[in-house]
Chain A
């Protein structure tokens, strides 16, 4: 990805992310989240992670945000009396966030390893990822299935009554 294109997309992504936390209406926040997640999947494609990009759109933008929207609609929230914590909290948190960003950007920019331009063939494709998943990460993969089962049972148990 060219640096100018990157900058444009990065600004859009950050703007969408800020709109998630800045708008009063939770539905607008969910839509901002969709935009953020879609733009991130563009970055994933640019980074040769095609399968991850597709999963991002299907799982995040498709399933998780729809879940959020369902809950927002189901709760039928009337206007919130207070959106945020006290004014002092907002000012302090914003200042801390800016300082934290500066710190992270400085440190990450300094410690970046040298990029290798020799990618193995099939990098980022389904076969390569599946190969890793079912060989070196098999235990974690199986544990993930247990986690999903627990989550499904837990969600059903919590929501019925």
Chain B
């Protein structure tokens, strides 16, 4: 049976990315917003890998490596910020976090 065409992978990537965007737009819990961002990053990773496979070049996979590293760094710092904010504000609701002052 023939392999799956590249466009299908890109379509799945687009759908996943949109799910992530939707999560960022509608949810109010900062942790869930973070998870939605991870979904978006992974959707882009899928597109990178699919195009790398289609072009027969490893560069896309190297990019995925970097994206994963940045995602790990972002998650560590972001969750530390969420913890610090929760300690002083007792909330993770994005609507209630309005003041820039600590």
Contact = CB atoms under 8 A, between A and B. Distances in A.
A133 B65 contact: yes
| Residues of B in contact with A, size category | 35 or more
A contacts with B: majority SS: helix
Interface of A: 1-3, 6, 10, 13-14, 17-18, 20-21, 26, 29-30, 33, 36-37, 40, 43-44, 46-49, 51-52, 55-56, 59-60, 63-64, 67-68, 70-72, 74-75, 77, 80-85, 89-90, 93-94, 96-98, 100-101, 104-105, 108-109, 112-113, 115-116, 118-120, 123-124, 128-129, 132-133, 136-137, 140, 144, 147-148, 150-152, 154-156, 158-159, 161
A74 B84 CA distance: 12
Contacts of A59: 68, 72
Interface centre among A17, A105, A132, A154 (most CB of B within 10 A): A17
B95 to A, nearest CB: 8
Given A30-B35, A113-B55, A49 B10 contact: no
B2 A13 contact: no
Interface string B22-64: 1101111101101110110010011001111111101101101
Given A60-B68, A94-B22, A3 B8 contact: yes
